[in-house]
């Protein structure tokens, strides 16, 4: 059958059989190709599976007649769970083979020949309640069997091609029926529309007798073998015919008909959205993100389904957390009422559908469905009211229908009940805000410009009315169910409105972006297409294999001097020349390098799976001296004079890049795919910034898109770009994190527009000054347009006349000084422009002056558009689409705004992605497609991915999607696993070499930069501590180790107390608070430590909170001088067993790393051995140098001094308590002297003296109080929050007034760290007075999986 459909395969088949038979003859063996093991292995495997499916899944208790139909619900059956598991696993096996192109080509004809899908559809298990997962897997197998792809060429079939092949099949069948089967005459003469539906075709075929049907299917059409035992079953033969000839629904149609919001049916379907405790044993009906994909459509489809289900899971968790606090009950009228309150959910006063628009042509769902919801915020305290009032257009809300049971469920019923039954939850529907109005009908939060800034007023009253857009596809399905099945009207039952945290609520926009991509014929650049899908040669997209290379690259300020350049090319004999080709004996930067296509280097093209042969950074020069090195020609040119003013001087790079970093820069500026693996502290950001800098200067017309995962990383990158020679007017930062940029300039769209308008006025005033200096009227500086004419008529013409006059007067040294036409204009320069002693020097200065003028008029030309465009929006869009050369945003912003970018015609040539190993695969893919194709070709020329797959992957909260579907595999990691060459930076400049040894074993050849070996700060010990890093063993504290007040919410009170005591000790020695961070591996511990700090440290101005208290996962990409790390667990290692988390935890510190944990547990963990071995070579009791009383010591890091080993938490608390007492006594004495002294003096002298005295007392103790003035930690204080479940009531600490208490006074109650079962910290029934409602946003998040919870 397969050969008939593909005539070109017949020749290959015959050739192959001939070759094999010739080989067999030579060996004297008879060859029967159909009996070989390779041919029969899979068929026999499938037949064995069908045998199990038919006869072993149901073991019968009583014998029944063979004629009896095996009914799925029959009482004679007992399901064999092992057989069911086998059937599910076998389905998964077939799906995996069909979803990979190399295996699909061979397997698909076999699956069709045996009719696996038809047999599974007719099996008893498919219809049995225990076969729900099996049925979903069969449907997935059918989907991949009919996938729209040409199996042999691997190209995606368009909708037209699929339809055409379907018509061809049906026509040929009709022709056969017309000629050979008189009974099917009606079918043969029918039009295709009348027979391609399942029901119609089945009816037409029913005229045939069983024998005729078997003859048709097995002999004439050869769809099934007549030896097949199933071929005698009429229902099977008809099923085979229907599945072969019916019209399949297009995948695009299926996706477009899918509601983007989840409903209650999918939310609690365990086989689709598994609960958190997925063990990994069974299989699931989920797509997998493997290394290879069939087509781009397949790739998008898998990502769409997984992203949708992951967001469904998160929404489900939010509903389960918000709804119980409402305490729903049935009142005397039999209606649902609420006696509680919830921060994220509010009862609805009124819900009504206001408009249902007619469907668009060719669609059945309405064009749009609009509704109005009224709710009251009267029960909320002001801080939560503000959160509800911050809702704006495009935010997603959820409508819930809650109807609790009249009687409370009994214990037995409660154990059996599903979550929706326990919550009384009937329906869930999503909606998107169109507008929100207050009680008087005034628009709130309107960003469309309908309300001007002057008209804006604060919202009035307590009622709010939200106009929302419902999901039209879901509405159509609901209305159809009401009409056809008599179902309940969902839209009349909604009584609760739920919101979500804005950061977690972006799922709809991202799903829409993916769906839009599926509806477009999206084009990945040809050079990336095959590699992206996982095929082709891994190095095909490397720059050496690309066309249109930059042959000569101007490296600008990359190299600090000639020696630096020579070190960067150790395999070459560097030959310096001047601009005119003569040898240069005193070369100085900048340098232009003529790059050979086959650039030799140790650092290039490390294959993803090979080992490197490079030594440490400093071994670069160890090249065999006998081998003749190739010449590398480098032009050392003198850059033109930039201009006479200080602001004209270009900013210079001061980083001495390593040879590996130079390799990464060369690869990044050439076309193609560049992958850079940057271990911690190896200067990823500096490398990325230099790539952007060199790219801007070598390709000034090209535009670069800069993407990162977090706002923090984007801001770090941006701040460094601004220190390079890229004009600020070409930089643009999109998204919400712009306000956190630590710069005076505003790089948002609005800020850039304002800056351009201000700059325009500055430049026009300069033009007026120039006109004055030339004795011309000043009105030439009225607009950018008049300034342009002035440039051509008066400025450029004068310059040309001046150049012509200079032509014969090179021998007169003062000629330039005398004849330069703009001398008066440049009379205000800091130094005199001309010396009058050398014609060459003065001519160079004159050209610099002219360059300054040219830049002024060029900038004015760029400002001209802002003069013509009047509205702010138009100006901002012009800036983004035309003016900016480097546009930066986070991957989330790119996915959210893709539609807007396409509408505006946004274009870019290069994509640079930082932190790309932390970004979800689909969120990496979308930024590649933020522009329309040009004439069917993608414009993208370079893709630079920078990341580290040895650190933590993207966060995926559901374990099943993470482990089973590999959803946490980033594109970067997939490319590394596919063996695509990458450059690994190999010298770290962050940490002491001794601390770097704790994690550098995970990387190929990670050495240290000279800086960390030479700098004095890395040689000095940490004052007060004997060691620069140490593991501190923390035994049970008051008989307890780890506790878990709620699942996966781990805390360890002993470690929390110990860590905070060490922090206080450091502060009392005078360590600055902003140089210390406290990290932990669980959210529960983070909140506990914050609580201890708020009680112990915040009340005292001389201690204050540390720089950060957060989890290891959240601190990825950041660093600090001193890290105190709490590992929490005492029974099981938990998720630290993931070595990637360990690498992040150990690589955050620069000068001191102190790990608090249970030694006996972690020393036995095999995976963590390389890090814990060096830690355990030092004492496991904290070693202090108590004789050091200041944060500065001359002691060498190797010298441990006189260590005092602290026995445990209690002793550390006593040490700190003693120090605080000394400090307070010293303060009291100083205060007493001050009071006595001040009594003798008059007002002003009193003030001066008081100031002096208090300062000196502080200085004596060397205390840095600056951090304390900043208030509480990150403005995030952990208060007890009445309605946030999982939060711990935050009281788990001693409640004394005076800081660190002696151990016996510290509170030890179990309840302290417990979480109330229903999440209500106090009050019997969950009704809290408004003033007790907590306002902590971030502290109350217990990211069930930010820390990927595997116990």
| pLDDT tens digits, one per residue of 1147-1199 | 999 999 999 999 999 999 999 999 999 999 999 999 999 998 888 899 999 99
Six token digits for residue 1286: 């999982």
| pLDDT tens digits, one per residue of 1033-1063 | 999 999 999 999 887 899 999 999 999 999 9
pLDDT of amino acid 1248: 41
Q: 675 and 945 in contact (C-beta within 8 Å)?
A: yes
| pLDDT tens digits, one per residue of 573-592 | 999 999 888 888 889 989 99
Q: 212 and 222 in contact (C-beta within 8 Å)?
A: no
pLDDT of amino acid 1121: 96
Q: Nearest CA to 558 among 731, 716, 689?
A: 689
Neighbours of 998 (CB within 10 A): 24
Q: Nearest CA to 317 among 349, 274, 350?
A: 274
**Most distant CA atoms of the chain, gap in Å:** 127
Torsion of CA 358, 363, 365, 366, to 10 degrees: -20
Phi, psi of 401, rounded to the nearest 5 degrees: -110, 115
pLDDT of amino acid 740: 56
Side-by-side strand order, sheet with 552-554: 552-554, 591-594, 630-636, 572-577
pLDDT over 90 for what percent of the chain?
50
More confident residue, 815 or 677: 677
If phi over 0 gives left and psi between -120 and 50 gives alpha, with beta otherwise, what is residue 373?
beta
Mean pLDDT to the nearest integer, 965-983: 94
CA distances (Å), 1204 to each of 1045, 1184, 1196, 1217, in order? 36, 5, 17, 17
Beta-bridged to residue 356, according to DSSP, are: 369
Which residue is it, tokens 């040895």? Answer: 950
pTM of the predicted protein model: 0.86
Six token digits for residue 1240: 């003798």
More confident residue, 15 or 770: 770
More confident residue, 614 or 1129: 1129
Residue-by-residue DSSP string for 1023-1051: TTBS-SEEEEE---BTTB--B-SSTT--B
What's the CA angle centered on 1156, arms 1154 and 1161, to 5 degrees? 130
| pLDDT tens digits, one per residue of 1285-1331 | 333 333 333 333 333 333 333 333 333 333 333 333 333 333 333 33
DSSP classification of residue 934: B
Alpha-carbon distance of 769 to 764, in angstroms, equals: 9
Phi, psi of 848, rounded to the nearest 5 degrees: -65, -45
Phi, psi of 794, rounded to the nearest 5 degrees: -110, -35
| pLDDT tens digits, one per residue of 703-727 | 999 999 988 888 888 888 988 889 8
Mean pLDDT to the nearest integer, 1073-1095: 95
What's the CA angle centered on 1057, arms 1054 and 1063, to 5 degrees? 140
Alpha-carbon distance of 1081 to 1050, in angstroms, equals: 9
pLDDT of amino acid 1191: 87
Neighbours of 1032 (CB within 10 A): 27
Mean pLDDT to the nearest integer, 204-226: 89
pLDDT of amino acid 1255: 36
pLDDT exceeds cutoff 80 at 382: yes
Distance of CA 1040 to the CA centre of its chain: 38
pLDDT of amino acid 741: 57
Six token digits for residue 992: 């002491």
If phi over 0 gives left and psi between -120 and 50 gives alpha, with beta otherwise, what is residue 191?
beta
Assign 443 to helix, strand or coil. Answer: strand
More confident residue, 3 or 639: 639
Q: With bands split at pLDDT 50, 70 and 90, how would you rate the model's confidence at 523? A: confident
| pLDDT tens digits, one per residue of 1204-1256 | 999 999 999 999 999 989 888 988 888 888 777 766 554 444 444 444 443 33
pLDDT of amino acid 743: 61
pLDDT of amino acid 809: 84
Helices (H) and strands (E) in the chain, counts: 48, 31
Alpha-carbon distance of 431 to 354, in angstroms, equals: 14
| pLDDT tens digits, one per residue of 169-200 | 999 999 999 999 888 888 889 998 888 888 88
Query: Worst-scoring range by mean pLDDT, 1-15, 115-129, 932-946?
Result: 1-15
| pLDDT tens digits, one per residue of 983-1014 | 999 999 999 999 999 999 999 889 999 989 89
CA distances (Å), 434 to each of 397, 466, 541, in order? 11, 8, 45
Alpha-carbon distance of 711 to 741, in angstroms, equals: 9
| pLDDT tens digits, one per residue of 312-343 | 999 999 999 999 999 999 888 888 999 999 99
Alpha-carbon distance of 988 to 1002, in angstroms, equals: 13
pLDDT of amino acid 1321: 34
Alpha-carbon distance of 325 to 316, in angstroms, equals: 15
Q: Nearest CA to 507 among 302, 319, 307?
A: 307
Assign 72 to helix, strand or coil. Answer: coil
The beta strands (E) that lie in 332-457 are given as: 336-338, 345-356, 369-376, 396-402, 425-437, 443-444
Q: 643 and 827 in contact (C-beta within 8 Å)?
A: no
Q: With bands split at pLDDT 50, 70 and 90, how would you rate the model's confidence at 62? A: very low
Q: 954 and 1346 in contact (C-beta within 8 Å)?
A: no
Alpha-carbon distance of 138 to 1261, in angstroms, equals: 74
Secondary structure of 1166-1222 as H, E, C letters: HHHHHHHHHHHCCCCCCEECCCCCCCCCCCECCCCCCCEECCCHHHHHHHHHHHHHH
What's the CA angle centered on 315, arms 313 and 316, to 5 degrees? 60
- Bridge-based pairing of strands 704-708 and 731-733 is unpaired
pLDDT exceeds cutoff 70 at 104: yes
pLDDT of amino acid 59: 73
The residues, any chain, with a CB within 8 Å of residue 616's CB and separated by 6 or more, are 986, 987, 1005, 1007
Average pLDDT for the chain: 84
What's the CA angle centered on 1301, arms 1297 and 1302, to 5 degrees? 150
| pLDDT tens digits, one per residue of 229-273 | 888 889 999 999 988 998 888 888 888 888 999 999 899 888 788
| pLDDT tens digits, one per residue of 1246-1288 | 444 444 443 333 333 333 333 333 333 343 333 333 333 333 3
């Amino acid at each position: 059958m397969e050969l008939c459909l593909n005539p070109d395969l017949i020749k290959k088949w015959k050739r192959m059989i001939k070759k094999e038979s010739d080989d067999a003859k030579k060996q004297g063996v008879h060859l029967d190709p159909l009996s070989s093991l390779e041919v029969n292995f899979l068929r026999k495997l499938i037949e064995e599976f069908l045998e199990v499916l038919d006869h072993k899944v149901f073991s019968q208790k009583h014998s029944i007649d063979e004629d009896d139909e095996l009914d799925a619900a029959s009482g004679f059956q007992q399901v064999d769970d092992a057989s069911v598991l086998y059937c599910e696993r076998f389905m998964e096996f077939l799906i995996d083979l069909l979803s990979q192109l190399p295996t699909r080509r061979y397997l698909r004809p076999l699956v069709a020949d045996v009719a696996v899908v038809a047999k599974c559809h007719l099996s008893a298990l498919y219809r049995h309640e225990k076969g729900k997962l099996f049925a979903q897997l069969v449907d997935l197998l059918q989907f991949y069997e009919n996938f729209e792809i040409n199996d042999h060429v691997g190209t995606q079939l368009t909708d037209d091609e699929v339809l055409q092949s379907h018509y061809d099949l049906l026509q040929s069948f009709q022709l056969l029926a017309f000629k050979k089967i008189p009974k099917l005459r009606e079918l043969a003469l029918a039009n295709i529309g009348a027979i391609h539906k399942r029901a119609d075709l089945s009816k037409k075929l029913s005229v045939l007798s069983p024998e005729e049907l078997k003859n048709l299917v097995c002999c004439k059409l050869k769809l099934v073998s007549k030896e097949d035992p199933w071929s005698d079953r009429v229902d099977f033969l008809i099923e085979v015919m229907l599945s072969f000839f019916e019209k399949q629904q297009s995948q695009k149609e299926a996706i477009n008909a899918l509601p983007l919001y989840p409903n209650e049916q999918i939310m609690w379907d365990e086989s689709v959205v598994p609960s958190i405790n997925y063990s990994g044993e069974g299989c699931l009906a989920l797509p997998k993100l493997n290394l290879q994909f069939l087509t781009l459509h397949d790739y998008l489809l898998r990502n769409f389904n997984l992203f949708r289900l992951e967001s469904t899971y998160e929404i489900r968790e939010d509903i389960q957390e918000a709804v119980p606090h409402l305490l729903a009950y049935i009142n005397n009228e039999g209606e649902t009422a609420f006696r509680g309150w919830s921060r994220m959910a509010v009862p609805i006063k009124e819900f009504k559908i206001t408009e249902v628009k007619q469907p668009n042509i060719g669609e059945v769902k309405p064009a749009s469905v609009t509704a109005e919801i009224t709710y009251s915020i009267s029960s909320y305290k002001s801080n939560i009211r503000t959160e509800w009032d911050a809702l704006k257009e495009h935010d997603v809300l959820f409508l819930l229908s809650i109807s609790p049971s009249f009687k409370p469920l009994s214990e037995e019923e409660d154990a059996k009940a599903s979550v929706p039954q326990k919550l009384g939850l009937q329906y869930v529907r999503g909606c998107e805000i169109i507008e929100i109005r207050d009680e008087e009908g005034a628009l709130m939060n309107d960003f469309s410009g309908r309300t001007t800034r002057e008209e804006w007023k604060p919202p009035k009253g307590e009622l709010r009315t939200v106009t929302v857009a419902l999901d039209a596809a879901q509405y159509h399905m609901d209305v159809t169910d009401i009409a056809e099945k008599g179902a309940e009207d969902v839209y009349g039952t909604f009584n609760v409105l739920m919101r979500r945290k804005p950061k977690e609520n972006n799922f709809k926009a991202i799903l829409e972006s993916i769906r839009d991509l599926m509806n477009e014929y999206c084009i990945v650049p040809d050079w990336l297409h095959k590699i992206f899908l996982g095929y082709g040669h891994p190095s095909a997209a490397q720059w050496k294999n690309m066309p249109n290379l930059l042959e000569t690259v101007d490296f600008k300020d990359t190299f600090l001097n000639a020696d630096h350049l020579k070190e960067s090319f150790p395999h070459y004999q560097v030959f310096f020349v001047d601009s005119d080709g003569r040898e240069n004996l005193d070369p100085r930067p900048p340098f232009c390098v003529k790059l050979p296509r086959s650039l030799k280097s140790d650092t290039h093209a490390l294959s993803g799976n090979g080992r490197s042969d490079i030594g440490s950074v400093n071994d670069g020069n160890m090249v065999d001296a006998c081998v003749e090195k190739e010449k590398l020609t480098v032009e050392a040119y003198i850059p033109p004079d930039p201009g006479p003013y200080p602001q004209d001087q270009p900013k210079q790079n001061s980083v001495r890049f390593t040879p590996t970093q130079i390799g990464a820069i060369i690869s990044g500026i050439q076309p193609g795919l560049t992958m850079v693996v940057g271990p911690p502290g190896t200067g990823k950001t500096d490398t990325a910034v230099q790539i952007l800098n060199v790219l801007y200067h070598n390709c000034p017309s090209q535009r670069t898109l800069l993407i990162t995962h977090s706002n923090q990383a984007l801001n770090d990158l941006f701040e460094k770009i601004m220190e390079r020679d890229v004009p600020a007017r070409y930089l643009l930062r999109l998204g919400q994190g712009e306000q956190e940029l630590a710069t005076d300039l505003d790089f948002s769209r609005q800020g850039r527009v304002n800056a351009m308008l201000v700059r325009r006025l500055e430049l026009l005033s300069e033009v007026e000054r120039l006109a004055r200096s030339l004795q011309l009227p000043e009105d030439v500086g009225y607009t950018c347009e008049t300034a342009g004419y002035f440039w051509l008529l008066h400025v450029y013409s004068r310059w040309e006349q001046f150049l012509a006059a200079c032509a014969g007067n090179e021998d007169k040294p003062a000629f330039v000084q005398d004849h330069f036409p703009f001398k008066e204009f440049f009379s205000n320069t800091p130094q005199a422009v001309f010396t009058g002693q050398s014609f060459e020097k003065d001519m160079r200065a004159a050209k610099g002056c002219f360059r300054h003028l040219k830049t002024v008029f060029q900038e004015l030309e760029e400002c001209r558009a802002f003069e013509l465009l009047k509205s702010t929006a138009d100006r901002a869009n012009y800036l983004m689409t035309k003016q900016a050369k480097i546009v930066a945003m986070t991957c989330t912003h790119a996915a959210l705004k893709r539609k807007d970018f396409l509408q505006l015609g946004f274009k870019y040539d290069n994509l640079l992605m930082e932190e790309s190993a932390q970004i979800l695969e689909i969120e990496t893919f979308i930024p590649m497609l933020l522009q329309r194709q040009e004439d069917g070709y993608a414009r993208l020329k370079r893709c630079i991915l920078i990341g580290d797959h040895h650190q933590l992957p993207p966060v995926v909260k559901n374990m099943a999607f993470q482990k089973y579907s590999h959803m946490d595999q980033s594109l970067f990691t997939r490319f590394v696993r596919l063996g695509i060459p990458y450059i690994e930076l190999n010298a770290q400049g962050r940490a002491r070499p001794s601390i770097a040894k704790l994690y550098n074993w995970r990387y190929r050849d990670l050495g240290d930069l000279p800086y960390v070996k030479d700098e004095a700060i890395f040689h000095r010990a940490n004052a007060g501590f004997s060691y620069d890093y140490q593991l501190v063993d923390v035994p049970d504290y008051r008989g307890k180790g780890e506790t878990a007040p709620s699942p996966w919410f781990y805390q360890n009170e002993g470690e929390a107390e110990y860590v905070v005591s060490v922090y206080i000790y450091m502060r009392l020695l005078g360590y600055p608070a902003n140089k210390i961070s406290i990290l932990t591996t669980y959210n529960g511990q983070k909140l506990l430590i914050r609580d201890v700090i708020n009680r112990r440290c915040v009340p005292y101005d001389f201690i204050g909170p540390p720089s950060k208290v957060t989890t290891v996962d959240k601190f990825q990409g950041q660093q600090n001088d001193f890290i105190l790390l709490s590992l929490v667990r005492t029974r099981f290692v938990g998720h630290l067993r993931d070595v990637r988390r360990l690498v992040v935890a150990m690589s955050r510190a620069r000068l001191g790393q102190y790990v608090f944990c249970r030694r006996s547990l972690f020393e036995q963990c095999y995976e963590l051995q390389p890090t814990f071995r060096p830690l355990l070579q030092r004492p496991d009791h904290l070693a202090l140098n108590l004789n050091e009383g200041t944060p500065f010591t001359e002691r060498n890091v190797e010298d441990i001094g006189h260590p005092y080993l602290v026995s445990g938490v209690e002793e550390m608390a006593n040490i700190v308590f003693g120090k605080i007492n000394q400090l307070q006594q010293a303060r009291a004495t100083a205060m007493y002297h001050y009071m006595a002294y001040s009594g003798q003096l008059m007002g002003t002298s009193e003030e001066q003296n008081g100031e002096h005295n208090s300062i000196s007392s502080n200085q004596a103790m060397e205390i840095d109080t600056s951090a304390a003035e900043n208030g509480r930690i990150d403005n995030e204080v952990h208060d007890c929050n009445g309605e946030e479940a999982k939060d711990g009531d935050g009281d788990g600490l001693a409640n004394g007034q005076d800081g660190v208490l002696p151990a016996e006074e510290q509170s030890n109650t179990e309840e302290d760290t417990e979480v109330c079962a229903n999440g209500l910290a106090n009050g019997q029934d969950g009704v809290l007075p408004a003033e007790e409602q907590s306002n902590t946003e971030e502290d109350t998040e217990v990211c069930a999986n930010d820390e990927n919870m595997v116990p």
